[in-house]
């Protein structure tokens, strides 16, 4: 666990602990309820946030996921929580109103990023599962991928770049729309090539 977060949790009298299965089910229901309420309030859709060391990302990453039950260990098990949340949101508001955000190279929140050679296989598994859902008539609105230019959203612009990887693998697995982001405002020269792919959308901003 991230020592800084442990300290904050300690002083807030909300100490970190491994989620129980009942708590995981409750979180899944909360995501679905939030999706339903957002659309009811007028939102076009929702984006499931599984990046930068937040709860779903913590389950994906073996650096933080030390569980020995069906939510830990194997790639399939570590992917389970994120996929359960996505499925619950699909059921709540429809697949066409659901997107998911992933950060394969992020190190913020003590995540592994490019240091773990197995981590891309985890993201490939998730994308493969989403593609299966798409072929079954439950295609998400998009997948949003953070490029390795941003490994820590709080680093100064242009710093913290991971140079030994990219997100090209996603295109051969997931056939739906892909939103790309990651300091593209400072690297506008690459955007023209990105949008040659008709299913690629660009998100400007730091991350």
pLDDT, tens digit, 9 for 90 and up, residues 118-130: 888 999 999 999 9
What mean pLDDT is predicted for residues 177-193? 80
Query: What are the CB-based long-range contacts (under 8 Å, 24+) for 161-167?
Result: 162/105, 162/107, 162/113, 162/114, 164/114, 165/104, 165/105, 165/114, 165/120, 167/104
Separation of alpha carbons 41 and 93, rounded Å: 12
Per-residue pLDDT at 1 exceeds 60: no
Q: What is the pLDDT of residue 62?
A: 93
**Prediction pTM value:** 0.89
Predicted local distance difference test score (pLDDT) of residue 81 = 98
Q: Which two tokens stand for residue 153?
A: 């959203």
> Is residue 179 predicted with pLDDT exceeding 80?
yes
Question: Please, which pLDDT band fits residue 207 given cuts at 50, 70 and 90?
Answer: low
Right CATH for 20-203 from 3.90.1200.10, 1.10.357.10, 3.20.20.70, 1.20.120.50? 3.20.20.70
Q: How many CB atoms lie within 10 A of CB 4?
A: 10
pLDDT in tens, 129-142: 999 999 999 999 99
| Token pair recorded at residue 142 | 């998009």
pLDDT in tens, 12-71: 877 777 899 999 999 999 999 999 999 999 999 999 999 999 999 999 999 999 999 999
Per-residue buried b or exposed e for 136-174, using 16+ beta carbons within 10 Å of the residue's own CB: eebbbbbbbbbbbbbbbbebeeeebebeeeebeebeebb
d(CA 116, CA 137): 33
How far is it, in rounded angstroms, from Cα 26 to Cα 41? 22
Pick the more confident residue, 163 or 167. 167
Region of 165 (left: φ > 0; alpha: ψ -120 to 50; beta: rest) is beta
Q: Check residue 206 and give its pLDDT.
A: 62
**Which of 25-34, 70-79, 193-202 shows the lowest per-residue confidence on average (mean pLDDT)?**
193-202
Ranges of each domain in the chain: 20-203
Mean pLDDT rounded to a whole number for the chain: 90
């Amino acid at each position: 666990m991230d020592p800084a977060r442990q300290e904050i949790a300690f002083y807030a009298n909300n100490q970190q602990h491994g989620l129980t299965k009942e708590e995981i089910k409750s979180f899944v229901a909360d995501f679905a309820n939030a999706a339903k309420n957002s659309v009811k309030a007028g939102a076009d859709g929702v984006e499931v946030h599984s990046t930068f060391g937040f709860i779903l990302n913590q389950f994906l990453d073996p650096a933080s996921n030390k569980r020995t039950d069906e939510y830990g260990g194997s790639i399939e098990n570590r992917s389970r929580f994120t996929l359960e949340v996505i499925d619950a949101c699909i059921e709540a508001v429809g697949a066409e109103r659901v997107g998911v955000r992933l950060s394969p190279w992020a190190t913020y929140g003590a995540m592994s990023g490019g240091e773990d050679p197995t981590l891309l296989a985890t993201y490939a598994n998730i994308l493969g599962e989403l593609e299966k859902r798409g072929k079954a008539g439950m295609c998400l609105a998009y997948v949003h991928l953070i490029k390795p230019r941003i490994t820590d959203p709080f680093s100064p612009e242009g710093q913290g770049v991971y140079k030994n990887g990219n997100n090209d693998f996603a295109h051969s697995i997931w056939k739906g729309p892909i939103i790309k982001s990651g300091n593209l405002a400072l690297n506008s020269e690459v955007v023209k090539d990105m949008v040659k792919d008709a299913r690629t959308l660009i998100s400007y901003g730091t991350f």
